[in-house]
């Protein structure tokens, strides 16, 4: 079996160029000097803790990324449903407006025909079909204008 030079395998040098970071490391070491035999033990401990943290971050990242993708997919699906609902609602609203206008004309016609019959006026069927009795009475027209102006 080939012999391995363990001195070569176990030695690693680290270069730190930021003076503020070196000062922070030195200050922290001085503060916790009694917990470590050497500065090297202190650095090895920091590297171990950092490595464990990075491993946990890698594991959590995959889970976190999966959750983000799931949330993104659900938001996209919800947005599409909302768009579809808005389209259907717009169509419903247009239909309701058309129906409301038809009902308004029919009710106006019935109202005006009742007034005409009450006054014993003769009714010409051609005038009824032509829409002569379709207009709202003046007081109702004012009421309608008021609500149209104040509901915006």
Residue range 38-68, pLDDT digits in tens: 888 898 899 999 899 888 888 777 777 778 8
pLDDT computed for residue 1 by the predictor:
56
- pLDDT tens, position by position, 114-147: 888 887 777 778 887 788 878 877 888 888 888 8
DSSP for the chain, written as a single string: -PPP-HHHHH--------HHHHHHHHHHHHHTGGG-SSHHHHHHHHHHHHHHHHHHHHHHHHHHHHHHHHHHHHHHHHHHHHHHHHHHHHHHHHHHHHHHHHHHHHHHHHHHHHHHHHTT----HHHHHHTTT-SPPHHHHHHHHHHHHHT-
- pLDDT tens, position by position, 80-119: 888 877 777 888 888 888 898 888 888 888 888 888 888 7
């Amino acid at each position: 079996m080939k012999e391995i030079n363990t001195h070569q395998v176990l030695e690693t040098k680290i270069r730190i160029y930021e003076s503020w970071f070196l000062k922070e490391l030195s200050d922290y070491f001085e503060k916790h000097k009694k917990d470590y035999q050497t500065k090297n033990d202190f650095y090895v401990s920091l590297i171990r803790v950092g490595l464990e943290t990075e491993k946990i971050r890698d594991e959590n990242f995959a889970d976190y990324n999966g959750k983000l993708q799931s949330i993104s997919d659900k938001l996209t699906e919800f947005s599409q449903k909302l768009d579809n609902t808005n389209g259907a609602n717009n169509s419903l609203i247009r239909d309701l407006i058309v129906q409301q206008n038809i009902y308004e004309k029919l009710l106006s016609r019935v109202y005006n025909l009742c007034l005409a019959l009450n006054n014993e006026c003769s009714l010409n069927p051609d005038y009824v079909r032509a829409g002569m009795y379709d207009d709202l009475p003046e007081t109702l027209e004012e009421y309608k204008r008021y609500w149209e102006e104040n509901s915006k």
